[in-house]
Amino acid sequence: MPAKLKTAIVGATGYSGLELARLLLRHPHLETPLMLRRTEGGDESPHNGFANNGSINLAEIFPVLSGNGGYPIQPFSWAALQQQNVELLFLATPHDTSRALVPEAIAQGIRVIDLSGAWRLKQAQHRAVYGFQDTDSLTAAELTEKAVYGLPELNCDRIPNATLVANPGCYATSVILALAPLLSAEVVDRERGIISDSKSGVSGAGKEPTSRTHFVSVADNFSAYSVFSHRHVGEIIEQLKLDANQFIFTPHLLPIPRGILSTVYVYLNREMKPAEVEACFRDFYHGKRWVRVFATPQLPQIQFSLHTNYCDLGFCLAEDGRRLVLVSCVDNLLKGAAGQAVQNMNLMYGWNEEEGLQ
C-alpha cells in the first residue's frame, strides 16, 4: 500500500477554502492536510475576528466542523511546508498572494494547484484586469507559460504532468463546458456572436462583508454587474479561442448562497435536429465522470448540481434548427472551485477522477 500524499492548503478560511479543506480531510489517498494562513495581505480579514498570529481552529470560524477535535491552522511559513514534506500545495488565496507564493513553491519542488486567477491567463491584455505586469519577473513569465489551465474535461492530457495547475474560475467553468462541444464540432456561427447570460449565488462574491453582500441588499433582489468587464471573460476567450468582439458575458447576482446557472446563446451554422445536438454533447463528454448531459427537453436547475462536483448541461433548440439555448449549472464552490481542484489532483496523481468527490 503506497504512502499517502502530503498536502497543504493556504486560505481555508474562505468559502472555497472551507470546501476544499472538507474534501481533502476525507480524501482516501491523503494524509491530514497541513492548513496554513497568511498573516498579512493574505487570506485573513479583520472581520474574521482572530488575532494575526498563532494557531487558530477552523472549527471556530465554521462551527459546522466542530465536534471532531479541531482543525488547527498555522501561520504560513516555508519551514512548516518543508518540515512536513509537503508535495502538493493548494492555494485558496487572493490572486496577489498566489502570485507571490507560487514561484518559491515551484522552486522548492512543490507542485501547486492555485484556485485564484493568478495563473490562468496567457495573454497580457487579459492579465491586465488583475493588474499584473508583464515584466513582473522572468520567473513569472516562465510560470505563466508553464501553468496548465485545470479544466479536466478539456486538458486531461496535460494536467497529469503539470507542476502548476491554474484552477478555472467558477463562471468560466460553466461557460466553457457548455460551449466546447459545439465549437469543437464547428457548428457554431461565430459571426453572429455568442452570449453567456450567467447568474451566481452570493458565495461567489467572497466572504468579505460589503454593502453589496449585505442580506438586505441581496434578498428579494437580482442584478447584473461587471458587464463587459468581468475577470473571467479572458479565460473563456483564451480557452475557446473566441473573438473578443463576438462574445458577451453578463454576470448577475442571485439571492441564493451558492450555485451558478449560465444561459448560453449560440446560432448554428447549419440546421440541426435536437438529437444531433444532444449527440454532439454526449460524444464530446463520453466517459467524463463529472459532466451530465440532460436529454432535451429537460434542463438543468441550480438545485440539481448543488453540493456535487457535476457540471450539468442541457439545451433547447428552436424549430428553425438554428437558434440554440444552452443551460449549464455548477456548484460554484465545488465544480467551480474546490471540487475541480480535487479532480485535478486526482489526475495529477493517477487516481480515479471521482476519488474523494462522491
Task: Report, in Å, the least distance between residue 147 CB and a second copy.
Answer: 28
C-alpha 245 chain-centroid distance: 25
Please, what is the minimum distance in Å from the beta carbon of residue 78 to a second copy? 30
Position 306 contacts a second copy (CB under 8 A)? yes
d(CA 61, CA 287): 39
Phi, psi of 298 (to 5 degrees): -70, 140
CB of 11 to a second copy, least distance (A): 17
**Choice from 2, 28, 63, 131 touching a second copy (CB under 8 A):** 63
Residue 56 sits in the site that holds a second copy (CB under 8 A):
no
SS3 (DSSP) at 44: coil
Q: Which of 2, 49, 69, 287 binds a second copy (CB under 8 A)?
A: 49
Task: Give least dist CB 216 to a second copy, A.
Answer: 5
| 108: amino acid identity, one letter | Q
The answer to the question of residue 51 lying near a second copy (CB under 8 A) is no
Furthest CA-CA distance within the chain: 64
| Using rule CB under 8 A, residue 274 touches a second copy | no
Restricting to residues 308-337, name those near a second copy by CB under 8 A.
308, 310, 316, 318-320, 322-323, 325, 327
Measured from the CB atom, the residue of 135 and 358 that comes closer to a second copy is 358
The residue within the footprint of a second copy, chosen from 100, 301, 349, 351 (CB under 8 A), is: 301
Size of the site for a second copy (CB under 8 A): 72
| By CB under 8 A, residue 302 contacts a second copy | yes
Provide the Cα torsion 38, 41, 43, 49; round to 10°.
90
Report 19-48 residues binding a second copy (CB under 8 A).
26, 47-48
| Active-site residue flag, 170 | yes
Residues 6+ apart with CB under 8 A from 251: 171, 198, 199, 200, 224, 225, 226, 227, 230, 232
| Cα separation of the two ends of the chain | 22
Smallest distance from the beta carbon of 114 to a second copy, in angstroms?
Answer: 23
Candidates 3-11, 110-118, 131-139, 194-202; binding stretch for a second copy (CB under 8 A): 194-202
Dist. CA 300–CA 309, nearest whole Å: 14
Q: Does 210 bind a second copy (CB under 8 A)?
A: yes
Q: Which of 170, 280, 311, 329 is catalytic?
A: 170
Residue 139 or 226 with smaller CB distance to a second copy? 226
Q: Which has the closest alpha carbon to 110: 6, 197, 223, 40?
A: 6
- Residue 267 CB, shortest distance to a second copy, in Å, is 7
**Residue 245 binds a second copy (CB under 8 A):** yes
Task: Please tell me whether residue 15 binds a second copy under the rule CB under 8 A.
Answer: yes
User: 173-192: which residues touch a second copy (CB under 8 A)?
Assistant: 192
| Among positions 250, 274, 279, 282, the unique one binding a second copy when judged by CB under 8 A | 250
Determine, following the binding rule CB under 8 A, whether residue 141 of this chain makes contact with a second copy.
no
Q: How far apart are CA 312 and CA 322, in angstroms?
A: 22
In the complex with a second copy, the residue whose CB is nearer, 10 or 202, is 202
What minimum distance in Å lies between the beta carbon of 29 and a second copy?
A: 17
CB 164 within 8 A of CB 148: yes
Residue closer to a second copy, measured from CB, 164 or 268 = 268
Q: What is the DSSP string of 133-146?
A: -TTS-HHHHHHHHH
DSSP string across 152-191? HHHHTTTGGG-SEEEPPPHHHHHHHHHHHHHHHTT-B-GG
The CA distance from 331 to 308, in Å, is: 7
- Which of 96, 213, 238, 269 forms a contact with a second copy (CB under 8 A)? 213
Amino acid at 262: S
Distance from C-alpha of 297 to C-alpha of 192, rounded to nearest angstrom? 25
Q: 69 to 128, contacts with a second copy by CB under 8 A?
A: none
Q: Choose among 262, 254, 269: nearest CA to 192.
A: 269
Active-site residue list: 170
